[in-house]
Amino acid sequence: MSEFRKGAVGAVVFLLTLVGVEIYFFYSFLTHGLLVKYGYSVGILYYNLPYLLMFLLLLTVVSVVIAAIVYGFVKRRSWTRKFSLFFLIWAMLWPIWSILVWNYIIEQVVLLVVYALLILYLLSSFAREYFRNIFRYGKYTLYRREVVLKSGKKLTIYFFSEHEPKSGVPCAMPEGYTVGINPRSNMPYLEKYYPGVYKYGRYTLYKKRVTLESGKTLTIYFFSDHKPKSGTPTGMPDGYVVGINPRSKMPYLKKKRGFRGFSSEKVVIESSDKAADSRNNRGEKDMEEKSRKPSNVIYVVNKPQPGHVRGDWAVRSHGKIFSHHRTKQAAIKEARKIAKEREATVMVQNTDGTFGMGFKPRTKKR
């Protein structure tokens, strides 16, 4: 029998015993218990309103407490053990009172022993594990479910749920995982915990290794506020600091001033935005184009040169700046003219610093 089923069986036995004992207590209280001991009877409750109200109040309080204990056991709330202990200690006062006034001694001793056994169960390791071996995040509870794939392999799935699911059992947090929040649905989920991971606000630094057709291996670093399709969380590489894109307000890595460190691998820094996943998918093609540095390409860039107004758009090649423009449209128009003359490709810089796939202006047919 699994640990979960052992705990569930113990909880069911505890609740059934508690409910049965309380029902018998009220039966004995009205027929031959303390009420009869002090010269009262059930009939007096019908004719004396204050006594009736007091009895109904006692019955209501005990019923609400029992319902709260049942709810806590079913939902496995951490407060249930202490709450049940206080109630059982209070309930033990009634059989002790009956024993002191010498009223049905054997019956009251049996009730006292049952209450003591219920308290011992709450103090046992079974009850502690029943309430401890579960992870909650706010109003959500962590569940696990085992599924069998077509290949016959068993796979354990962890998921959070606000309500009790059709299948799955509550469980503890597995080792090596932490809680992440989906930015769209605000639902918690489990993600691998990587020690030393660098975070900037709600953004996490990721790295991805791509292999070009030439055989070169590049490492791409980028920030993302959600789990990307590819890439693993990583720490801050040596010689880099965080910069903020003034337009998109997204963090990116840039080299420290005066850093002359040596790295055995080629590192490419990529700015982060909400389209990071799509850029990662075409990362190999982009890196291949950048590594070749074709000479027959006209670039439209918005990085200002010394002496020019910040925000100017420039038309340039790899070794020459042709012109500066105030607007992006004017720069693209001029780049088209130069590209037609040279039969070159035009590549326009995006707001996050990356370049699109480029286009080649059509020449007029003769």
DSSP string, 102-129: TSSHHHHHHHHHHHHHHHHHHHSHHHHH
Residue 69 — pLDDT band, cuts 50, 70, 90? very high
Provide the mean pLDDT of the chain.
80
* Whether 41 and 72 share a structural domain: yes
If we measure between CA atoms, which residue out of 97, 90, 121 comes closest to residue 28? 97
CA-based diameter of the chain, in Å?
Answer: 122
Mean pLDDT of 265-291: 49
* Whether 180 and 202 share a structural domain: no
Give me the number of domains the chain comprises: 4
* Distance (Å, whole) CA 128 – CA 46: 45
* Whether 157 and 106 share a structural domain: no
* Whether 173 and 226 share a structural domain: no
* Distance (Å, whole) CA 175 – CA 186: 23
The fraction of the chain above a pLDDT of 90, given in percent, is 21
Query: Residue 281: pLDDT above 90?
Result: no
Mean pLDDT of 224-243: 85
Residue whose entry in the numeric block shows the structure tokens 């990362």: 283
Domain termination residue (choose one: 292, 319, 337): 292
* Whether 288 and 301 share a structural domain: no
What are the tokens at 193?
Answer: 């915990």
Predicted local distance difference test score (pLDDT) of residue 80: 92
H helical segments located in the chain = 3-31, 34-37, 42-47, 49-75, 80-100, 105-123, 125-132, 276-281, 283-292, 328-342
Predicted local distance difference test score (pLDDT) of residue 202: 80
* Whether 72 and 170 share a structural domain: no
Mean pLDDT of 246-264: 72
* Whether 7 and 124 share a structural domain: yes
Lowest mean pLDDT among 61-70, 172-181, 289-298, 325-334: 289-298
* Whether 122 and 36 share a structural domain: yes
If we measure between CA atoms, which residue out of 16, 34, 14 comes closest to residue 26? 34
Residues paired with 177 in a beta bridge: 192
Domain termination residue (choose one: 192, 212, 231): 192
Domain termination residue (choose one: 269, 292, 315): 292
Q: Which amino acid is at 206?
A: Y
* Whether 46 and 118 share a structural domain: yes
Query: Residue 22: pLDDT above 70?
Result: yes
Predicted local distance difference test score (pLDDT) of residue 288: 47
Query: Residue 264: pLDDT above 50?
Result: no
Residue 115 — pLDDT band, cuts 50, 70, 90? very high
Helices 3-31 and 49-75 sit at what angle, rounded to 10 degrees?
A: 170
Predicted local distance difference test score (pLDDT) of residue 308: 52
Mean pLDDT of 44-65: 86
* Whether 219 and 154 share a structural domain: no
* Whether 152 and 86 share a structural domain: no
Mean pLDDT of 198-209: 86
Lowest mean pLDDT among 1-15, 42-56, 159-173, 314-328: 1-15
Query: Residue 315: pLDDT above 90?
Result: no
CB within 8 Å of 269: residues ≥ 6 apart: 220, 221, 222, 240, 252, 253, 254
The residue count for the chain: 366
| Residue 297 contacts residue 347 (beta carbons within 8 Å) | yes
| Residue 196 contacts residue 235 (beta carbons within 8 Å) | yes
Residue 283 — pLDDT band, cuts 50, 70, 90? very low
Query: Residue 268: pLDDT above 90?
Result: no
Residue 273 — pLDDT band, cuts 50, 70, 90? very low
Residue whose entry in the numeric block shows the structure tokens 């990662």: 280
| Residue 250 contacts residue 244 (beta carbons within 8 Å) | yes
Q: Which range of residues forms the domain containing residue 325?
A: 293-366
* Whether 115 and 31 share a structural domain: yes
